[in-house]
Structure 1
Amino acid sequence: MGEVEIEIEIPPYFLCPITLDIMRDPVTLSTGITYDRESIEQWLFTQQNTTCPATKQPLPNLDLTPNTTLRRLIQSWCTLHAVQRLPSPKPPLTLPHLLRILSQASLPHLQSKSLQTLKSLASDSLTNRRCIASSPAPAFLASLIIAKSSFSDDALSILHSLHLPESALKPLSTPAFVQSLTLVLQLGTYQPRVFAINLLRSITEIAEPSLLISLKPELFSEIDNMLKDKDISRKEMKSAMKVLIAACPWGRNRMKAAEAGVAAAVVDLLLDVVDKRECEMMMMVLEMVCQCADGRSELLGHAAGLAVVAKKILRVSGAATERGVRILHSVSRYSATAAVLVEMVQSGAVAKLWLVMQVDCGAKTKERAREILKAHARAWRTASCIPNNLIS
């Protein structure tokens, strides 16, 4: 006969209310409810919730008190029932301990060891990462990157792992640090480049206009290279797009992006993109870049430029349709040579504008479509591509 498996009933108060797994490191909120530390930290600090998950009560503070009595009970129960005993959690990092590590890291002969210790502590828990992020550590790590230290890759890796909040990113939002990250994009290996573009995304999303308008052309050239890199992941591609979205509301940056070749790179990506959000981001970037002459020239110089814009209209979302019509409006208003008008017919752009007039696309989008059709009515009537009563 085979062995009979005996199910062991786990006391319900050993289970985390979020994951329903045995708690490894039970901590108690101000509401009196106990959770596993990792789960409640995700709820509070990663998902930015301010209520108790079980009671839905607002939390007057986000203090987590270790429930050592419950942890001992869980460990004793595991031993009694021959269940693999859960290891005692490591004590969370304290600020005095962290400051000692940073003091040692300033000494050349201890720098490597100290950075490895910091990296290990950051990987241990969200509590440790929050402690590091709220300390002088980010500024110290950034200084190593700016100084092109031999340990700058380690510093960059740690900074990236911290997922810095806005309060910690603000002091790093300086031209010197942005230029250092740009240099990593230019000269770094794959992983440091990934870390750099993700940090640049976070910084540009919260940066002051004075920083954004001072971005160097080299940054846009490196972003263009990343968009053309077949090995880059979708996450990093989206980070590159978000840097452009943050930077390109300023006219100078549109010109820098256009001169770097961003429009052609985005068109190439649009040919294969299937994700709705990614497509909307690409159309947003293309619309901004096409507000300058070089951007429109690059779009029109691409064999699939107008065709891919026309294809996305009415097929992805209202936002993508609006951006597509804006792009065609810029082309029609500022770059409408006879050859371009013919291409708008052949690419299906004019037919899409006609369809926009027939469906619910928003008043402003329809008005732009009507303006394009009216502006070139005679040329397109001659080509018999729109009905006579459409723009009457």
Structure 2
Amino acid sequence: MSLTDEALSLLYHLETSETVLKNLLNNKKGRDIVSSLINIMQRGMYESRAYATLLLKNILEVAEPMHIMNLKPLVFTEVVQILEDRISHKATKAALHILVNICPWGRNRHKAVEAGAIYVVIELLMDESFSSDRRGPEMAMVVLDLLCQCAEGRAEFLNHGAAIAVVCKKILRISQTASDRAVRVLLSVGRFCATPALLHEMLQLGVVSKLCLVLQVNCGSKTKEKAKELLKLHARVWKDSPCLPRNMILAYPS
């Protein structure tokens, strides 16, 4: 372990209090620390990059909204790179956690999309080893939901050939949270990006059947409402399709 690794490890394991972290962020040295962590994430060795990501997660968790909204694009680029490199399970979850915390703001969604977050998160969800731990896929679905709330995010989502299938597959397989976010993602693209080709693809990939199943099983009422909304939105195309199994046709909302 290098000196940098040891220093970062020590700093991380000190478990600095929220008050100290906030005070640190509110002065120039705090801003320098964020820049330093990003620099390590960009150029450091694997272990240093992992600890830098974990520390950045802790720091941004207590940051004021104005600080988060003013994060530079490089922050998003390096966080996404951590996800792509998959240097450790902890670092991957920390990077997802960072995106969950900083992407509720519109301008940050654009930065995350431009950094390639959509593609990388979908690729993560395609990895069965990643999906073995519930929390990781849950956060990944939250990130997709946040990013698909902007037009650029929806466009990038649909540019990935496996996106619809991957998200559909996660419904009712991981947790209520993951199912809810997956349905929200499908509703976003189904509401704002509907084309005959997309609606046909969703039908062929089993999205419509899965949404009908959501209405039949014990899951959250909000999830059911969103599934019902999407089904009703495109009932003219989907309801009488020969691709839809009879039992699902009977479950289709009127």
| TM-score between the two structures when normalised by the length of structure 1 | 0.58
1:387 to 234, 243, 249: 249
* 1:311-330 to 2 correspondences below 5 Å: 311-330=169-188
| CA deviation map 1:57-114 (0-9, x unaligned) | xxxxxxxxxxxxxxxxxxxxxxxxxxxxxxxxxxxxxxxxxxxxxxxxxxxxxxxxxx
Cα offset, 1:160, TM superposition: 2.4
1:276 to 134, 138, 160: 134
1:205 to 32, 51, 61: 61
Is 2:106 aligned against 1:251? yes
Is 2:92 aligned against 1:237? yes
1:341 to 199, 210, 231: 199
Amino acid at match of 2:173: R
| CA deviation map 1:146-183 (0-9, x unaligned) | xxxxx877654442232212122112224332222212
Amino acid at match of 1:202: N
Amino acid at match of 1:364: K
How far apart, in 2, do the equivalents of 1:154 and 1:311 lie? 41
**Pair 1:155–1:342, CA change in 2 (3 A):** same
CA contact (8 A) 1:381 1:387 kept: yes
1:217 to 73, 83, 100: 73
Cα offset, 1:388, TM superposition: 6.7
* 1:62-101 to 2 correspondences below 5 Å: none
Show structure 1 runs of 5+ residues with no match.
Answer: 1-150
| CA deviation map 1:218-237 (0-9, x unaligned) | 1111111111114x110111
1:161 to 13, 19, 22: 13
How far apart, in 1, do the equivalents of 2:35 and 2:198 lie? 39
How many residue pairs get matched? 241
Cα offset, 1:239, TM superposition: 0.7
CA contact (8 A) 1:213 1:252 kept: yes
How far apart, in 1, do the equivalents of 2:251 and 2:49 lie? 55
Structure 1 or 2, whichever has the larger Rg, is: 1
CA contact (8 A) 1:175 1:211 kept: no
Give % identity: 49
1:183 to 31, 39, 46: 39
Is 2:26 aligned against 1:170? no
How far apart, in 2, do the equivalents of 1:176 and 1:383 lie? 58
**What is the alpha-carbon root mean square deviation over aligned residues?**
1.9
Cα offset, 1:362, TM superposition: 2.1
How far apart, in 1, do the equivalents of 2:5 and 2:120 lie? 28
Kindly indicate which of the two structures has a greater share of residues assigned to helix: 2
Q: Could you say which structure has the greater relative contact order, defined with CA pairs below 8 angstroms and 6 or more residues apart?
A: 2
2:163 matched to which residue of 1? Answer: 305
Show structure 2 runs of 5+ residues with no match.
Answer: none
How far apart, in 2, do the equivalents of 1:289 and 1:389 lie? 31
CA contact (8 A) 1:310 1:348 kept: yes
Amino acid at match of 1:223: V
| CA deviation map 1:345-387 (0-9, x unaligned) | 1221111111111122222211111110111111113533262
Amino acid at match of 1:205: E
How far apart, in 2, do the equivalents of 1:326 and 1:366 lie? 11
Cα offset, 1:389, TM superposition: 6.8
Amino acid at match of 2:11: L
1:351 matched to which residue of 2? Answer: 209
How far apart, in 2, do the equivalents of 1:172 and 1:192 lie? 21
How far apart, in 2, do the equivalents of 1:154 and 1:321 lie? 40
CA contact (8 A) 2:12 2:54 kept: yes
